[in-house]
């Protein structure tokens, strides 16, 4: 399929983007013409991902950034501005689910980590980035179907993802009219992150059957939705969440 070139001349930062959904988003935006700034915690992963993108003809800059490290977040923005002079798109994709404990059995340190990485780091990154965001720019958060129906193995993780839905509304208001803020809420996608759910063949089959479309999601599905929201095709959409979950129950 020939892709449109909606991001020609645009600069996009995608966090946690050396594999999985983040990498898929970087690849999609890059193939549509964006210069993409990718990042994750490990230099080796960053280098390998940049190489893969370059092979596809994409202009990619790779920077190590653990999203809860203030210095590394600042460096991510500074290096982007040094190289490209502006930011058009930020996709905030990093998240953890460090425990399958019930909420009331969770250690305080686990609750702190969930808040810190899944919510607070997204806000702090935008704080650093906001002076550089162009008129017509766009922010996309990656939430989850678990934001609507937090299952027990991911209950508190789900609540942090619910918080992103509120953050989307609040920041859409705060950053208007120059910057639009939207969210993608993925269903189940067989990535490293979801291994503990999707690796087991029988669990995977059960999950597939709970969707209306009889399959798990792909990183390309998530990338397509993110690209839409980040692009001018969505220029009258802000403060919204697009559920990309094969029909899994979300909300009316």
Question: 84, 148, 157, 196: which one is catalytic?
Answer: 157
191 binds ligand NAP (CB under 6 A): yes
Contacts to ligand NAP from residues 194-223, by CB under 6 A = 194
Answer for which of 33, 48, 59, 66 binds ligand NAP (CB under 6 A) is 66
Question: How many C-beta atoms surround the C-beta of residue 203 within 10 A?
Answer: 13
41 binds ligand NAP (CB under 6 A): yes
248 binds ligand NAP (CB under 6 A): no
Which residue in the shown chain puts its C-beta closest to ligand NAP? 20
150 binds ligand NAP (CB under 6 A): no
Answer for which of 29, 67, 140, 175 binds ligand NAP (CB under 6 A) is 67
The answer to whether 215 touches 246, Cβ cutoff 8 Å, is yes
Non-local (6+) Cβ contacts of 68 within 8 A are 116, 117, 120, 121
* Side-chain half-sphere exposure of 7, counting CA atoms within 13 A: 32
Backbone angles phi, psi at 235, to 5 degrees: -65, -10
User: Is 148 an active-site residue?
Assistant: no
Rounded CA separation 55/193 (Å): 25
Bridge partners, residue 40, by sequence? 64
142 binds ligand NAP (CB under 6 A): yes
95 binds ligand NAP (CB under 6 A): yes
Residues labelled catalytic: 157
């Amino acid at each position: 399929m020939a892709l449109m070139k909606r991001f020609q001349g645009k600069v996009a930062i995608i966090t946690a983007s050396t594999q999985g959904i983040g990498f898929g988003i970087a690849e999609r935006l890059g193939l549509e013409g964006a210069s993409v700034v990718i990042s994750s915690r490990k230099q080796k992963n960053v280098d390998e991902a940049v190489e893969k993108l370059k092979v596809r003809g994409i202009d990619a800059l790779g920077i190590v950034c653990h999203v809860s490290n203030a210095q590394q977040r600042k460096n991510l923005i500074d290096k982007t501005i040094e190289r490209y002079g502006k930011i058009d798109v930020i996709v905030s994709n990093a998240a953890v689910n460090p425990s399958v404990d019930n909420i009331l059995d969770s250690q305080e340190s686990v609750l702190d980590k969930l808040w810190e990485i899944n919510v607070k780091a997204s806000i702090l990154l935008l704080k650093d980035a906001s002076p550089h965001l162009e008129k017509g720019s766009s922010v996309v958060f990656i939430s989850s179907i678990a934001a609507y129906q937090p299952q027990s193995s991911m209950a508190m993780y789900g609540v942090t993802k619910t918080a992103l839905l509120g953050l989307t509304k609040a920041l859409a208001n705060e950053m208007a009219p120059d910057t639009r803020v939207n969210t993608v809420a993925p269903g189940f996608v067989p990535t490293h992150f979801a291994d503990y759910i999707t690796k087991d063949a029988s669990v995977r089959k059960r999950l597939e059957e709970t969707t209306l479309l009889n399959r798990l999601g792909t990183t390309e599905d998530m990338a397509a939705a993110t690209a839409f929201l980040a692009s001018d095709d969505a220029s009258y959409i802000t403060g919204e969440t697009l559920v990309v979950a094969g029909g899994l129950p979300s909300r009316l």
